[in-house]
Amino acid sequence: MRDALDGRRVLVTGGARGLGAAFVRALVEQGAHVAFGDVLHEEGAALARSLEGAAHFFPLDLNDPHSIADFVAQSVKALGGLDGLINNAAITNSGGKFADELTPDTWDAVMNVNVRGTWLMSVACVPHLKESGRGAIVNIASDTAMWGAPKLLAYVASKGAVIAMTRSLAREFGGGNVTVNAIAPGLTEVEATAYVPAERHEYYLEGRALTRAQVPDDVNGPVLFLLSDAARFVTGQLLPVNGGFVMN
């Protein structure tokens, strides 16, 4: 895989910790040139320092279209162009609440980051991805949108929207030779899932065909594949990565 990704210029949103940080590290290990953004400035800067200049960190707030534009401009300048984008940043906010306990503000906050942010980031990057001639977007969805996880409605709805958006963007961007695919990870052991009750973790463990915990490295390979030339004729697709908890 290293030869396929060596020299690739890739952006990662939500890259300061969790799955995003795992993607950043994996890309660097495979020889890619990486820029990543996050609202977690101190954690993002610390990760960049730990990688000793192999990845650039820039502040990014998906709630703010100006922040998105600045992030893309800074990243493209630092990398000298753009070949790939991983739309990873997302918030949950609605965890543990039933549908009738949600507020419109909570719903809007989740949709603004997870859906609108993914759309705006994709649109901001696509001119540069078209210029590359081998552009690829990988949207990080969630298998919760496939099985309808309860007490997580806003997040589940947002990830369902990301899956649907992936298909439309694939058709719109395909003429520019840009692929757009989605990964739907299962419950992964990262900081962002620390709030999930133990019984939900156990539910996943019992329901998977592969009966073990899911870790970030389980998601890295499929994401790197979709960024590579090996996947140049794969677009508009959803790939569940959950150990067989949900199967297409």
CATH of domain 2-241: 3.40.50.720
The pTM assigned to this predicted structure is 0.94
Q: How far apart are CA 107 and CA 94, in angstroms?
A: 8
pLDDT tens, residue by residue, 17-56: 999 999 999 999 999 999 999 999 999 999 999 999 999 9
Residue extents of the structural domains in the chain: 2-241
CB burial string 79-89: b at 16+ within 10 A, e below: beebbbbbbbb
pLDDT tens, residue by residue, 124-133: 999 999 999 9
pLDDT tens, residue by residue, 84-118: 999 999 998 866 889 999 999 999 999 999 999 99
H or E element in which residue 183 lies: strand 179-185
* Cα torsion angle, 248, 144, 47, 110, sign: positive
Q: Which residues are catalytic?
A: 155
